[in-house]
């Protein structure tokens, strides 16, 4: 049990806490010894995209933790906040991996980006559910992005980093679906439907923006817009079904 926790009803989050903890303590074995460096052409294709995702993956999560700790229902689960803190740390590790790759390739890290600033501001102004919706929308779209990025260059190291992040993101989608589902569970069916519709609008708008910003990565991996759209929507609607099953 987390330090200072009080015995309570069975937890939705205890297994997630243990999973994130195990993941944290498992060495991340990546081929940093790989001598391959990105070609000039590859750098031109992927550098800006990696820079933006490296910045976007980093978040202190203070606002999210503050909202979560104030929630009248989820905060009563003794494992919720500890699991959330480990989840945030795992996202920060993704940023760290991408940052180390940028450093190795002598590509400067970004300190700010207008898209990242908009989404951070949106999260700051929102309540817990919308904050989680924004985060999980980014994670949904990270799945097709990292799948394309791993095939966009001949770097074994970048391929391995993408595969590691994709493995974590698959679990993150289930974790976030649980949280959104529990947040919506007390609502009437009509209210849940409205929230699901608004989430669809957010997803589709963000997906169009992602393609506009990173289409070179997708095209270099052999994807056209139709393939990107179909694959991104598939991940999103799988998430929606998980949320619906829980709520």
Q: What is the pLDDT of residue 16?
A: 97
Q: Which residue has better confidence, 3 or 30? A: 30
Q: Which residue has better confidence, 126 or 162? A: 162
Q: What is the pLDDT of residue 85?
A: 95
Mean pLDDT of 140-146: 97
Whether the CB-CB separation of 68 and 13 falls below 8 Å is answered with: no
Q: 158-194: per-residue pLDDT in tens?
A: 999 999 999 999 999 999 999 999 999 999 999 999 9
> Rg for the chain (alpha carbons), in Å?
18
Q: What is the pLDDT of residue 63?
A: 84
Q: What is the pLDDT of residue 6?
A: 44
Q: What is the pLDDT of residue 244?
A: 95
**Rounded CA separation 164/243 (Å):** 25
Q: 189-219: per-residue pLDDT in tens?
A: 999 999 999 999 999 999 999 999 999 999 9
The pair phi, psi for residue 190, each rounded to 5°, is: -65, -40
Q: What is the pLDDT of residue 43?
A: 96
Q: Taking 80 as the threshold, does the pLDDT of residue 124 lie above it? A: no
**Rounded CA separation 186/213 (Å):** 38
Q: Which residue has better confidence, 99 or 60? A: 99
Q: What is the 3-state secondary structure (H, E, C) of 62-127?
A: HHHHHHHHHCCCHHHCCCHHHHHHHHHHHHHHHHHHHHHHHHHCCCCCCCCCHHHHHHHHHHHHCC
Domains of the chain: 36-246 (1.20.1260.10)
Percent of the chain topping pLDDT 90: 80
Q: What is the pLDDT of residue 101?
A: 97
- Read off the pLDDT band of 7 (50, 70, 90): very low
Q: 26-85: per-residue pLDDT in tens?
A: 888 899 999 999 999 999 999 999 999 999 888 777 888 999 999 988 999 999 999 999
Q: Which of 167, 182, 159 is nearest to 243 (CA)?
A: 182
| Locus of tokens 């501001």 | 121
Q: What is the pLDDT of residue 58?
A: 84
**Rounded CA separation 98/104 (Å):** 10
How far apart, in Å, are the Cα atoms of 59 and each of 56, 111, 158, 244?
A: 7, 12, 22, 28
Q: What is the pLDDT of residue 125?
A: 65
């Amino acid at each position: 049990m987390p330090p200072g926790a009080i015995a309570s009803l069975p937890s939705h989050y205890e297994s997630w806490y243990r999973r994130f903890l195990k993941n944290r303590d498992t060495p991340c074995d990546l081929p940093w010894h790989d001598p391959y460096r990105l070609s000039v052409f590859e750098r031109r294709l992927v550098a800006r995209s990696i820079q933006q995702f490296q910045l976007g993956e980093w978040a202190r999560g203070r606002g999210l933790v503050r909202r979560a700790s104030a929630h009248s229902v989820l905060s009563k689960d003794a494992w919720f906040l500890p699991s959330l803190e480990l989840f945030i740390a795992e996202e920060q590790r993704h940023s760290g991996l991408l940052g180390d790759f940028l450093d190795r390739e002598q590509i400067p890290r970004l300190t700010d980006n207008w898209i990242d600033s908009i989404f951070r501001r949106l999260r700051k102004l929102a309540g817990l559910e919308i904050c989680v919706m924004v985060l999980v929308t980014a994670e949904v779209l990270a799945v097709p992005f990292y799948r394309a990025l791993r095939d966009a260059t001949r770097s074994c190291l970048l391929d391995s980093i993408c595969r590691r992040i994709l493995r974590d993101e698959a679990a993150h989608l289930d974790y976030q679906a649980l949280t959104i589902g529990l947040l919506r569970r007390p609502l009437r069916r009509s209210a849940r439907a409205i929230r699901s519709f608004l989430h669809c609008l957010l997803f589709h708008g963000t997906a169009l923006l992602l393609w506009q910003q990173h289409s070179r990565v997708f095209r270099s991996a052999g994807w056209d817009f139709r393939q990107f759209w179909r694959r991104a929507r598939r991940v999103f609607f799988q998430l929606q079904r998980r949320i619906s099953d829980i709520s």
